[in-house]
Amino acid sequence: MKKKKVYIIIFLILIGIILFSILIVGNKINDSILHSDEIQITAKLREDDFAIHSGKQTIKKDLELNITVNNLKDAKGSLTLYPIINNANRLSFNSYEENNYYQPSSIGGSGFLNARVEEILRNENIESNNIDLSLFAIPISGEKGVLYLRAYMNKKNDSIELNNPVLVCLYNIEIFGFDFLWHKVIPIELEK
């Protein structure tokens, strides 16, 4: 009988250690994940004639998109912005931009993330006519702080209005082989 009590006590102690370990690991994971309320994003779109100087070349653009990202904590994982602006193409950045605007090292998203954004657009009834998401994905830093980003685009057709542009923010992190994702849809304010 005493042996049985010893085994039960050992078993309960092991269960306690396992539960305590899970709690500690869970807290560590939670601290490294960026939650949707820990990031604030605003976006403004302005239509005008813009000239981007790139070395000896001058490129004309019709649209200027200004994005401010306020990330309240450092986080692991990937953070990608997708400007969904119908009637816009040729997303680009000006490497000679003043005021230290963020310059992504590349643009484009993975097939997995692009498929998720397409699903989000369908589920939220957001029109995205002929937008190639792989050319409109902007990976950004997950570091804590304020990030300013300025992108330029061309209108496909001058006679078509820019209707209800939005910015989709997609966060993705892999935890123990599972993808943890969340998204935010931010309306883009049209400046006159």
pLDDT tens digits, residue range 94-117?
777 677 888 888 887 788 888 888
Beta-strand pair 39-54/189-191: parallel
pLDDT of 67 above 90 = yes
Closest CA to 45 of 61, 34, 32: 61
% of the chain at pLDDT higher than 70: 89
pLDDT band at 58 (very low <50, low <70, confident <90, very high): confident
% of the chain at pLDDT higher than 90: 13
DSSP state of 38: G
Which two tokens mark 140?
């950004």
pLDDT of 43 above 90 = yes
Better pLDDT: 26 or 76: 76
- 6's enclosing H/E stretch is helix 2-32
Q: What are phi and psi of 135, to 5 degrees?
A: -95, -5
d(CA 154, CA 92): 9
Cβ distance 66 to 26 under 8 Å? Answer: no
SS3 for 14?
Answer: helix
Better pLDDT: 128 or 41: 41
The confidence score (pLDDT) of residue 135 equals 79
Mean pLDDT over residues 48-52, rounded? 76
Better pLDDT: 14 or 67: 67
> How far apart, in Å, are the Cα atoms of 53 and each of 96, 103, 148?
7, 15, 20
d(CA 177, CA 11): 29
Q: What is the mean pLDDT of the chain?
A: 81
The confidence score (pLDDT) of residue 81 equals 92
Which two tokens mark 107?
């643009």
- 150's enclosing H/E stretch is strand 145-155
Mean pLDDT over residues 5-26, rounded? 78
**Best mean pLDDT range from 37-41, 109-113, 131-135, 182-186:** 182-186
